[in-house]
Structure 1
Amino acid sequence: MRRPDREGGGAPRHRRLPSVHARIRYPLARLGFLTIGTFDPADPAEGHEATLRIIERGEQLGLDSAWLRHRHLQHGISSPVAVMAAASQRTRRIDLGTAVTPIGAENPFRLAEDLATVDLLTGGRLQPGFSIGTPMRFDTYRDAIYPTTADLEDLGYDRLLRFRDLVHGRTVSDAAAREGQEEYASTVQPHAAGLAERIWYGAASTRSAVWAGENGFRLLTSSVIQGELGRTSARTSARRSTRTGQPIRPAPTPGCRRASS
């Protein structure tokens, strides 16, 4: 029997609608983890070995991805490329990613060579993530990287685009040739097919999230994201841009992931 709208002639009773989160459920498609990979400076080898064991254990537990933080002048992973190369030989299924590598401290050409090599070793499981702009505490080590050109370096969006172009196979040299037994290519070698479509961007604002979507990057977000329109709007804009952007080709895995702060 239907319950009357009014009881005792009083005001109408209003049903309480469930919250948005109660009404809409998003099934978990993939699950991964992020590790800083800390180590004791007195025994750094053990710390790196522990990180590799964690990645192996993650694969055994059925997790889909393992992500490494990238740190400089700290007791944490300073060379995630090398760690992922080692992990590639101890795992078979789990994706290996960085969240994130500050590309301002990297040479795009050399990084493209290294990551392409590691991606081939993983069988196409690499998920490299990047941030742009001035890296954290960059003033303490920038002269060690760019002793005479630090103020001239482009640390913005163009640097990441240049890296992706190199990974994708942009011509670097017009001097492809054979000289005796040596053969020279015009593009970065080796070429890792599909790697350019698996590059992630760590956005920290609405503007950068929109830029990532418009330029076809996968999106990494975190609990510290702040947008000009507020935190919720930043994430909404990121999802909208990822849907309406023009990626190089459709991504086979979710285009937005959250990294721990």
Structure 2
Amino acid sequence: MILQDLYIYPIKSLGGIRLTESETAARGLRHDRRWVLVDAHNQFMTQRQTPAMALLRVAPAYNGFLLTHAQRPDLLPLYIPFETTPERTLFVTIWDDMVFGWRGSREADEWLSNALGLTCKLVFMSDMVRRDVEPELNPEGQLVSFADGYPFLLIGQSSLNDLNTRLAEPVSMDRFRPNLVFSGGPAFGEDTWEQFRIGNVTFRAVRSCGRCVMTTVDQQTAQKSPAGEPLRTLASYRTVGRKVMFGQNVTSANQGLLRVGDAVEILSVKAEVGELVK
């Protein structure tokens, strides 16, 4: 098995960047989800409520990235640095957490509000912020950025291939927004992993990732599937309790450099794997 793809999403719920290599850091891949959009009440925003965020594309640039709108050529590309300064600050609510954030530029707020047709603000998470991964499942005290809950999301290409054999119209991996995609091994083999290594970095698969309506948003058009796919099909054979599982939430034991093509080595497997509906 090898590392097939590496992705970062500099702004939560906007387009991603495919990399050939990336450093891991305390909160995940370097620059991953360190920015977030918040609404007028400083609540975090995602494609769950605002599918049009899928139309905001991200491309690498020197010490930052460029934002463009897939359907609005009138909006000139906007440059965003990877980091900002604490000139303007606020508290951001993300799920059950409230964390301190640094505001982006007023120009960025105006561009993004225009692009989405609603008032929003761009906020950065500095290294001074502490947002913990679920403590009951993570005794190591791992940190997370503005990602939903974990520093890394791992998915096997074989798992997506299996899903696509069951769908009338195949979907691409971008529906699931992984950081780490590996090739080789059986479909959903990652469900059984506990400790594994990629390159010189050791990881722990903490738990399966429960999926939501965001997987029904076409990342090219921002349109939701009227049939609720692929979530509907996944639910027919990947349900545990009331959650539909696809991919593994992952933490890392050390920092290092990952490269596409690195070997993926399973170090240990879980004693128990939750029963899935077949």
Question: Same fold judged by TM-score > 0.5?
Answer: no
Which structure has more relative contact order (CA 8 Å, sep 6+)? It is: 2
User: As a proportion of its length, which structure holds more helix?
Assistant: 1
User: As a proportion of its length, which structure holds more strand?
Assistant: 2
TM-score, normalization by structure 2:
0.25
